[in-house]
């Protein structure tokens, strides 16, 4: 009797598994944010029981009021799709599977039970920026290596701007910016002393838009490290090497 009951349970379990679909989410745990495209790849694999109607399985990526259909790979090895997100540091992801069982009603399943959080990281900001201090055609050379005023810079000053672009929060506030020597040598300390940040701070940087910090040098040749601090947890501090020199 015990063997008969055991065999009955085994048969029932096999019948149930033949009606099911197993879905495996293979989407990477994180991406580098890209607001130019604002789309991130979703991928999955799925295995079907013997009683699942052929061709009936469909998969969707769901989360934050989105329901994105996934496409079956040409070779049948898996599923793929694109999920749209902008100006966020992460997004929730679940997969919805819907299928038909032969002779029975439609079934569905959501995996995992709780959404995964796919992390989006800030892309690298500007690492290096150079500014040409050579006189432009038609400009007279100023004495003692000084140039005429350019843009909003004063007499005997050279001006340049560094662009920054953030991607994971709606607005990033640049709370401070300063020029530091690129090394502890007397030459580098002197070269950095000639450069100053002229943009009023704090400065708000809207997600996906270029935000400029204006620099002014009182020497035709100067260099240093522009250090910015922000309230963006994905990029709280960044350093940009800047150089003023004639090209």
Domains of the chain as residue ranges with CATH? 2-121 (2.60.40.10), 128-245 (2.60.40.10)
Segment 13-40 shows an average pLDDT of 85
The per-residue pLDDT for range 44-93, each reduced to its tens digit, is 999 999 889 999 999 999 998 899 999 999 999 999 999 999 999 999 99
Helix/strand/coil for 214: strand
Strand 58-63 relative to strand 90-100, pairing:
antiparallel
Helix/strand/coil for 144: helix
The per-residue pLDDT for range 209-237, each reduced to its tens digit, is 999 999 999 999 999 999 999 999 999 99
The per-residue pLDDT for range 137-161, each reduced to its tens digit, is 766 554 333 333 344 455 679 999 9
pLDDT at 103: 72
Containing H/E element for 3? helix 2-17
Distances (CA, A) of 127 to 48, 87, 123, 157, 238: 50, 22, 11, 24, 9
Q: How many residues does the chain have?
A: 247
């Amino acid at each position: 009797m015990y063997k008969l009951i055991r065999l009955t349970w085994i048969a029932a379990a096999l019948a149930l598994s033949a009606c099911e679909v197993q879905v495996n989410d293979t989407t990477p745990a994180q991406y580098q944010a890209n607001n130019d495209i604002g789309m991130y790849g979703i991928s999955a694999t799925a295995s079907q029981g013997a009683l699942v109607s052929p061709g009936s399985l469909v998969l969707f990526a769901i989360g934050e009021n989105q329901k994105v259909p996934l496409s079956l790979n040409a070779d049948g090895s898996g599923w793929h799709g694109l999920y749209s997100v902008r100006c966020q540091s992460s997004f929730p992801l679940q997969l919805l599977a819907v299928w038909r069982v032969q002779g029975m009603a439609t079934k569905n399943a959501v995996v995992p039970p709780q959404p995964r959080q796919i992390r989006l990281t800030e892309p690298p900001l500007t690492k290096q920026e150079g500014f040409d201090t050579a006189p432009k055609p038609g400009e007279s050379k100023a004495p003692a290596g000084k140039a005429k005023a350019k843009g909003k810079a004063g007499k005997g000053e050279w001006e340049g701007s560094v662009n920054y672009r953030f991607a994971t929060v709606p607005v990033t506030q640049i709370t401070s910016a300063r020029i530091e020597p690129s090394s502890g040598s007397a030459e580098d300390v002197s070269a950095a002393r000639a450069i100053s940040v002229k943009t009023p701070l704090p400065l708000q940087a809207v997600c996906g838009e270029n935000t400029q910090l204006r620099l002014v040098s009182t020497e035709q040749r100067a260099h240093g490290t522009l250090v910015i601090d922000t309230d963006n947890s994905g990029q709280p501090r960044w350093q940009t090497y800047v150089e003023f020199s004639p090209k």
